[in-house]
């Protein structure tokens, strides 16, 4: 098959090489001339423009950073569609917004061309090894046309259910993987901060839904079968979550995902604390996260004290202390009552509290 390939980057270069290896002719283009040169060394043909990569091909594959670039390459400055022969199929394997996918499909249809959205799962290593997972969205006929090329690129090809579904499932997938990555970072940071051996903690969690995932254990066993009867009471789950948040607060470890989860189970009228990717990942990379978080908390979050006097006192006397109390009081309750609370010291497993205190960061 004659294939045009636009976007020879981290993913595309290896993918194109594997398509060449499958016996297809691959005309490759990238704005980076070195990538095009490498494609030629890999046995492909070099194109000097997107339009040239589209000439006389049966399939035109795009593997580009975002939807705006895909659109520009096809219809804008690249004008690749102008050179497509009748019946040529466009296969966008980039990760883009599904509504952009729909618009591109519509524009191609108006010009008489079909489109398959087929983003990749897994990693750049898999792209090089030809072991990617392909989430294919297209008509059965178009997917059949793509199959010989897809088989060079991946070892798992999933028909996601029609045009646009590949792009959609990719975003759902990446929502979960990115969120879980933040949660993983927080979890390991918490484990480390309370003196746990990470290998042991990972071994333990690998035997529970923490790592085995609710998606493949509890949901198919129960929820997805329509069984919504309680199995683990929310109050008990909340108790455990609150303990983790308390431990983390005492160790100075921000748990933004934990805060968000606790906020969801608090019901209306109670707000989760600041949540976000930045707050979760940054503590692994730098130590000043707490001070950044402190300024976020004390400036952007209103003091939870019910009275004006309490609020003024908090602001004037001890902004930093206030933050600590807020963090230690699990529900953002009145900082004055939290102040009266005595917080126990945390001893690591098997170690003396005094010795461990030296190693651990503390908000005390
Ligand atoms: P990349 O930035 O390494 O490669 C993109 C390539 O496109 C670059 O070589 C760039 O020069 C080229 N390019 C940019 N604008 C161009 C234009 N107008 N004309 C021609 N070439 C142009 O990105 P990547 O990691 O290969 O990712 C590509 C797509 O695959 C993205 O949508 C990404 O979200 C998705 N993806 C990436 C991974 C991964 O692990 N890297 C995994 C799955 C999916």
**Burial class (CB within 10 angstroms; exposed 0-12, middle 13-18, buried 19+) of 125:** exposed
Going by C-alpha positions, the residue among 4, 119, 111, 105 that lies closest to residue 55 is 4
Which residues share a beta bridge with 59?
Answer: 3, 89
Instruction: Please check whether residue 328 is in contact with residue 341, taking contact to mean a CB–CB distance below 8 angstroms.
Output: yes
Which atom from ligand 1 is nearest to the alpha carbon of 121? 43
- Ligand 1 neighbourhood includes 178 CB (under 6 angstroms): no
- Helix ranges, the chain (H): 12-21, 33-41, 50-54, 67-75, 98-110, 124-129, 140-153, 165-193, 198-206, 209-212, 218-221, 234-251, 256-264, 277-285, 289-295, 308-317, 319-328, 335-340, 353-359
Among residues 170, 222, 317, 321, which one is catalytic? Answer: 170
* Backbone φ, ψ for residue 285 (5° rounding): -100, -25
Compute the distance from residue 166 Cα to the ligand 1 centre, in Å: 17
Compute the distance from residue 63 Cα to the ligand 1 centre, in Å: 6
pLDDT band at residue 286 using 50, 70 and 90 as cut-offs: very low
**Which region among 33-47, 49-63, 344-358 has the lowest average model confidence (pLDDT)?**
344-358
Segment (H or E) for 134: strand 132-136
Instruction: Please check whether residue 73 is in contact with residue 66, taking contact to mean a CB–CB distance below 8 angstroms.
Output: no
**Which region among 14-18, 70-74, 297-301 has the lowest average model confidence (pLDDT)?**
297-301
Distance CA 363, CA 236 (A): 27
Fold of 2-169: Rossmann fold (3.40.50)
Q: Please give the residue that has the higher pLDDT: either 154 or 223.
A: 154
- Ligand 1 neighbourhood includes 63 CB (under 6 angstroms): yes
- Ligand 1 neighbourhood includes 304 CB (under 6 angstroms): no
Q: What is the CA radius of gyration of the chain?
A: 27
- Ligand 1 neighbourhood includes 90 CB (under 6 angstroms): no
The pair of three-digit structure tokens given for residue 148, joined into one six-digit string: 């010989």
Report the nearest-CA residue for atom 42 of ligand 1. 123
146-197 pLDDT, tens digit each: 999 999 999 999 999 999 999 999 999 999 999 999 999 999 999 999 999 9
- Ligand 1 neighbourhood includes 6 CB (under 6 angstroms): yes
Q: Is residue 216 scored above 50 in pLDDT?
A: yes
170 is catalytic: yes
- Ligand 1 neighbourhood includes 33 CB (under 6 angstroms): no
Compute the distance from residue 162 Cα to the ligand 1 centre, in Å: 24
Give the predicted TM-score (pTM) of the model.
Answer: 0.75
- Ligand 1 neighbourhood includes 258 CB (under 6 angstroms): no
The whole-number average pLDDT for the span 75-84 is 95
234-279 pLDDT, tens digit each: 888 889 999 999 999 999 999 999 999 888 765 543 333 333 323 3
pLDDT of residue 266: 59
Compute the distance from residue 125 Cα to the ligand 1 centre, in Å: 14
Report the nearest-CA residue for atom 39 of ligand 1. 124
Going by C-alpha positions, the residue among 271, 245, 243, 277 that lies closest to residue 258 is 245
């Amino acid at each position: 098959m004659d294939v045009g390939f636009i976007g020879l980057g981290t993913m595309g270069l290896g993918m194109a090489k594997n398509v060449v290896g499958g016996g297809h002719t691959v005309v490759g283009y990238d704005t980076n001339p070195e990538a095009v040169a490498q494609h030629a060394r890999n046995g492909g043909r070099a194109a000097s423009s997107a339009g040239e990569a589209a000439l006389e091909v049966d399939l035109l594959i795009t593997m580009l950073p975002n939807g705006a670039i895909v659109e520009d390459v096809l219809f804008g400055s690249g004008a690749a569609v102008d050179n497509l022969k009748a019946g040529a199929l466009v296969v966008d394997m980039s990760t883009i917004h599904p509504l952009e996918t729909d618009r591109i499909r519509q524009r191609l249809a108006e010009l008489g061309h079909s489109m398959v959205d087929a983003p990749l799962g897994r990693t750049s290593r898999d792209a090089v090894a030809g072991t990617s997972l392909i989430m294919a969205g297209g008509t059965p006929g178009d997917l059949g046309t793509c199959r010989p090329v897809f088989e060079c690129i991946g070892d798992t090809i999933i028909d996601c259910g029609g045009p646009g579904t590949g792009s959609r499932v990719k975003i759902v997938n990446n929502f979960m993987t990115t969120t879980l990555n933040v949660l993983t970072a927080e979890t390991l940071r918490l484990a480390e901060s309370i003196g746990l051996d990470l290998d042991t903690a990972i071994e333990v969690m690998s035997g529970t839904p923490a790592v085995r995932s609710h998606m493949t254990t509890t949901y198919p066993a129960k929820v997805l079968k329509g069984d919504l009867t309680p199995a683990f009471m929310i109050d008990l789950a909340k108790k455990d979550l609150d303990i983790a948040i308390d431990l983390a607060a005492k160790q100075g470890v921000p748990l933004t995902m934990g805060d968000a989860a606790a906020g969801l189970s608090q019901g209306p009228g109670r707000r989760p604390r600041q949540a976000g990717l930045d707050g979760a990942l940054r503590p692994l990379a730098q130590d000043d996260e707490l001070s950044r978080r402190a300024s976020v908390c004390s400036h952007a979050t209103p003091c939870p004290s019910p009275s004006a006097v309490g609020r003024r006192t908090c602001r004037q006397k001890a902004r930093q202390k206030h933050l600590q109390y807020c963090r230690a009081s699990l529900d953002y309750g009145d900082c004055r009552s939290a102040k009266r609370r005595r917080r126990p010291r945390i001893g690591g497993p098997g170690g003396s509290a005094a010795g461990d205190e030296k190693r651990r960061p503390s908000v005390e």
